[in-house]
Structure formats: C-alpha cells, structure tokens
Amino acid sequence: MISPSSSPDSTVKDPGHPLVELSHVEKHFGSLHVLKDINLSVNKGEVLVVVGPSGSGKSTMCRTVNRLEGIDSGVIRIDGKELPQEGKELAMLRAEVGMVFQSFNLFANKTILENVTLAPMRVRHMSKADAEDLAMDMLSRVGVDSQASKMPSQLSGGQQQRVAIARALAMKPKVMLFDEPTSALDPEMVNEVLDVMVGLAKEGMTMICVTHEMGFARKAADRIVFMADGRILESGTPEEFFDHAQTKRAKDFLSKILTR
C-alpha cells in the first residue's frame, strides 16, 4: 500500500506564501501596549521600510520577527513556519534571519574576521578555512576586508556597522532585519552604510528596515509601513506614502521630517 506522501516539508515550496508574516500580533511592556493588532506580510525579495515617530513600536516589531522580543498573542511565521519556543529550533530559525542593530554589537573579544566566521563555524559547522574564505568575501563586499585582523574598537562606527552586515550575510539569511542601522552613526558615515543596504536591496535580498533615513526609504523601498502608537496606520509604495499620505498622523510626521 502506498501511503499518501508523508507530511509535507514545513518549508513549503509555495511561491505565493509570504516570507515573513505577522498576524494579529499583540505585545505589552507592563501596562504599556506597544504592539496593537499588527498584520504584515513581506514577500520574497521585497524591501519593506518601517517609519514612524519614536516610541511607535517599530523597533519592537522588528525584534519580534526573530523573537528577541516575545509576543503576547498572534502568530509570526517565517517562510511558512511558525516561530518556535526558545530552544534549538528557534536558534536554527534565527540563523536564517540576519539582524543588524543600531549599536552594531560586534563581539568585542573577537577580531573582525572572527566576528564573521564565528556563526558559520559554530552554527553551520563550516570548516575554519571555508568560513574564512566566506568571511573575506563578505567583508570585501562591504568594503572592510583590509580591516579583517583588527578588533572592533579600532574601527569607525560606519566600518563596524558594515562588518555587522557582513556578519549577518555570512549566514546566508532568507531575510535581513535592520533596526535603525544608521541612528548611532556620525552623519558622515551614514551613507557608506546606506550604500551597502541599497546594494543588497538591488540584489534581491528580502529586507525589513526600521529607519529614519527618508532618502533611503524613497530610493530602496518597495513598500513603506508607517507606525504610530503601536499600530500600523499606513502601508503603500514610497510614492503613495510620501506624496499622498492618508492619515493625519502620517502627514504630521512627514511635515516634521521633510522640512528639515
């Protein structure tokens, strides 16, 4: 007897389903309701930029996608797979989701090269030689390969952030999360990081970027999501959002940001 094909692989090869999907996500910090009924889906290859005033919950939302923040209710799926509880399975899933932080968070006790090779070796069990080849590729891609043997503290903020991007890329993630990647940078270093991000977007990387860089949003985003007070108020193409914002909150926000 031929049994019906055993339970389908959880990474279903359905091109229609979104890569990242949040539905009815709710989160509180104590009595503060930070995420209110968040529904969002990001397709493969899509570049989503999340904007909004500070305290709107956009960073928190970004951090829930790889469960650095837990949620109170709702469902988050990555490539059709629901986020598991803390443990090995979650670690494997996080390995597929690259994350770049506002404060770089390079490992202070490791060289630049070791920062990039660590996870491929420990999580993907790559040999040291292969991991170093891969790391040098990634570092040259972001233009800091000449700094490979230095410690993070010897690099400028912009260089550190580019290393952080290389570190995440070395895991060959399905999606990259950027949590205000340029907010801690000196103004003259913002563009070197944004250039790398624009390059990634052009290569078809799926990206969720929380940022205040409206120029980047206009240039690289496929879709812009506007958040305020823990809610998604608008979602649309850059043209729709910047030129024809619907809500008063979004218009207020844009008037404050764009007159500068």
Partner 1 sequence: MHTLVELFSQYDIVGAFLVNIEITAWSTLFSLILGVVLVMMRISPVSSMRMVAGAYVELFKNMPLTIIMVFMVLGAYAQLKLSFSSSFATNFFWLAVTGLSLYTAAFVCESLRSGINTVPLGQAEASRALGLSFLQSTTSIILPQAFRGSVAPLGNTLIALLKNSTVAAAASVATETSSLMSEMIEFHADAIIAIFLIFAIGYVILIIPIGILTTYLSNALAVRR
Which stretches of the chain bind partner 1, using CB under 8 A?
A: 66, 68, 86, 88, 91-99, 101, 103, 105-110, 118-119, 122-123, 151, 153-154, 164, 167-168, 171
The residue among 101 and 253 lying less far from partner 1, judged by its C-beta, is 101
CB of 164 to partner 1, least distance (A): 8
The residue among 64 and 234 lying less far from partner 1, judged by its C-beta, is 64
Provide the token pair at 111: 């060289």
- Residue 23 pairs in a beta bridge with 75
CB of 214 to partner 1, least distance (A): 26
143/192 Cα distance (integer angstroms):
9
The residue among 94 and 162 lying less far from partner 1, judged by its C-beta, is 94
Provide the token pair at 128: 């040291």
Helices (H) and strands (E) in the chain, counts: 9, 10
CB of 119 to partner 1, least distance (A): 4
CB of 95 to partner 1, least distance (A): 3
The residue among 33 and 110 lying less far from partner 1, judged by its C-beta, is 110
CA distances from 92 to 12, 47, 120, 217 (A): 17, 23, 12, 30
* DSSP assignment string, 156-190: -HHHHHHHHHHHHHTT--SEEEEESTTTTS-HHHH
Contacts of 88 (CB under 8 A, 6+ apart): none
The residue among 94 and 249 lying less far from partner 1, judged by its C-beta, is 94
CB of 80 to partner 1, least distance (A): 19
CA distances from 25 to 60, 68, 135, 218 (A): 11, 15, 36, 27
